[in-house]
Amino acid sequence: MLGTGILQGMVETARNFVGSYTDEARLTTVEYPEQRIPLKEATRQFPFLVFDGSDPQAGLRCVACQICEKECPPQCIFIEKSKDKKPDYIGKPQFYPATFDIDISVCMSCQICVEVCPFEAIKMDNEFELSTTDRFGGLLTHKQQLAKPNEHYHKIHPTEAAEVDARLAADKAKAEAKAKTDADAKAKAAAEAKAKTAASPFPAIPVAAT
Amino acid sequence: MAGKLDQLFVALKHWAVGFFPEAWQPLVSILLSIVPIIAVFGGLFAITTVIERKGLGRIQNRLGPNRVGIPLTNIRLFGFGQFIADGIKALIKEDVVPRAADKVVHFLAPIALVVPVLLGYSVLPFGRNMVPIDLDAGLLFFFAVGAGTELSLFMAGWGSRNKYSLLGAMRAIAQMISYEMPLVLSGLAVVMITGTLSLPKIVEAQNAYTGTIAHWHVFTPWGLAGFILFIISSLAEANRSPFDMPEAESEIIAGYFVEYSGFKFALFFLGEYLGMFAVAGLGITLFLGGWTAPFSWLTWIPSWAWFMGKLVTIVAVFIWIRGTVPRLRADQLMNFAWKFMLPMALLNIVVAGLWHFTGREGWNMIVRWLVCAGILIVPYLLLGRALETKFVKRVYRYAS
């Protein structure tokens, strides 16, 4: 019959209306600044730079390879390479970024920089309260603001961070093992060479010396 | 005491007018009728915007606005300061006029909406002896100025020189002309029964009691049908959901006032709400007994309180409907107007005539009730079925 559907709908909305006053569980929203819903682990807003250890600038994982700068679709990253090198987590000497700026008014949160980074140095942050009174300077974030410790990464994306740490540890172990075998091989080669010289009928020390 | 309270505002006005010299008194008297109307209904508009947002929020299981209170304090007033903040925002916003717009028409459109709407209030009886102008043809006057708002909407739509505006204006015109017909015809039944076009006399005709129940027109078959038809068409006339197709934010952004900003937009908003109150007030006057009480033992409550109470109730129902029913499509709207509303309104006139000429005593009364209700209910079912067959589930021949 015409009109019954509307009446049913009106009963339903009336039930919602009354229910929202009597049953707190019905309310789907929270009063934001005071109450907050915990963020989902996959939340992402804008990138940040991960550092290890205690010094934010010395511990940066970034090696200023500029892959993210080239891949960034809206071109919001600006990197200046350093002149000198410093050792990275494996101990290999690497460049570091003298300047690393991200314009978050341009950034579109696509996460491509994170995907292309070979050094696990740039990750997505979940910080979303970024309003500022200065719309030009205030939205251009520098290396100092971007650098955040690995613990922060563990806090916001635990699963992902654990994977990354495991991978880095494996890399490091592999590098160390390789270094060790290399060193062993070198030592062995040296020893062999030494033994060879010792065992040879002609002593290494030339006769002429005596 | 009750009589004094009932005539409080009338007495106040007489007292205030007495302070002025003889020559000024008619002018002051008019002013003292206009200013309270603008103040009271402007205030009601302000409160309604907040209540509507809170009500819609609750219907959707949200809290709604609950923060704005008195500035610089922690007093929040449950968010009822919201309309002040909105008003200040509307006042200080930039007034953007499109370069291609017809400046004069664009400027006049909001005024052309608010003025006729306010004129409509001049014939409404807000209480006993509380009618600004007691026109003999008050109902006719109301419908005449009410039709003037259509001009304003088209001025806004055409003057903006924007395609969305024009689409919205054309939708508005099509809708308002279609629903003007059932609106007037449902009011006509009342005129047939009472034999007058004067709104205070229509209220007087309902101010009688059988036992304890009042003679409101809504308590008769033709009155109930007329009231429902009137409310549906007044929703359409006020451009309110589910008939808010001229605005249709999701399709044509905001229809005819897409190019309006700042205070002109606020004027449109005000005009729309004042129009809604006016048409609801007319509905109360025609069918719900105006300022009369529903039961004879409730007559001690002042007449103006009854009018405002009924008005607020109808506005609450409008908000409830807005929270429930989704927007109609253009063809559904037209089908509903011409294939359901108009035949029902015409039938209602026949029933009102029958009601007028049949007996009122004993068995005649029961027969009259059954016949009149039957004449309305059977076509309602048949027309409703015909209308519902239109809304079958759509079958996609190639895309499914």
Query: What ipTM, to 2 d.p.?
Result: 0.79
Distance from the Cα of B394 to chain A's closest Cα (Å) equals: 19
Report the residue of B52, B54, B63 to disrupt the A interface, i.e. the one with the largest count of A CBs within 10 Å: B63
Q: Which of B59, B61, B321 is closest, CB to CB, to A27?
A: B61
The Cα–Cα gap between B283 and B229 comes to 10
Q: Total domain count for chain B? A: 1
Spatial contact of B64 and A31, defined as CB atoms under 8 Å apart: no
Q: Give residue B198's domain range.
A: 2-388
Check CB contact of A30 with chain B, cutoff 8 Å: no
Residue B105 lies in a domain: yes
Distance from the Cα of B62 to chain A's closest Cα (Å) equals: 6
Spatial contact of A50 and A154, defined as CB atoms under 8 Å apart: no
Spatial contact of B45 and B117, defined as CB atoms under 8 Å apart: no
Positions of chain B with pLDDT lower than 70, given as ranges: 1-2, 359, 390-392, 400
Q: Residues A25-74: pLDDT tens digits?
A: 888 888 888 888 888 888 889 999 988 888 888 788 888 888 999 999 99
Q: Are the beta carbons of A13 and B55 separated by less than 8 Å?
A: no
Residue B29 lies in a domain: yes
Q: What is the pLDDT of residue B48?
A: 92
From the list A158, A45, A56, the residue with the least C-alpha distance to A107 is A45
Q: What is the pLDDT of residue A202?
A: 57
Positions of chain A with pLDDT lower than 50, given as ranges: 209-210
Check CB contact of B389 with chain A, cutoff 8 Å: no
Check CB contact of A3 with chain B, cutoff 8 Å: yes
The Cα–Cα gap between B379 and B279 comes to 27
The Cα–Cα gap between B139 and B149 comes to 16
Closest residue, chain A, to B386 (C-alpha): A2
Q: Is the peptide bond before B116 cis (omega within 30 degrees of 0)?
A: no
Q: What is the pLDDT of residue B316?
A: 93
The dihedral built from the CA positions of residue B322, B325, B331 and B335, taken in this order, carries a sign that is negative
Q: What is the pLDDT of residue A11?
A: 93
Can you name the CATH fold of A47-164? Alpha-Beta Plaits (3.30.70)
Q: Are the beta carbons of A29 and B320 separated by less than 8 Å?
A: no
Q: What is the pLDDT of residue A200?
A: 62
Report the residue of B51, B54, B62 to disrupt the A interface, i.e. the one with the largest count of A CBs within 10 Å: B62
Q: Are the beta carbons of A28 and B62 separated by less than 8 Å?
A: yes
Residues near B216 by beta carbon (within 8 Å), at least 6 away in sequence: B206, B223, B287, B288, B289, B292, B294
Q: Which chain A positions have a beta carbon within 8 Å of B322's beta carbon?
A: none
Q: Which of B321, B325, B381 is closest, CB to CB, to A1?
A: B381
Residue B119 lies in a domain: yes
Q: Are strands A140-141 and A122-124 parallel, antiparallel or unpaired?
A: unpaired
Check CB contact of B228 with chain A, cutoff 8 Å: no
The Cα–Cα gap between B394 and B400 comes to 11
The Cα–Cα gap between A208 and B110 comes to 115
Residue B307 lies in a domain: yes
Residue B49 lies in a domain: yes
Residue B399 lies in a domain: no
User: In the numeric block, which tokens belong to residue B182?
Assistant: 């059932």
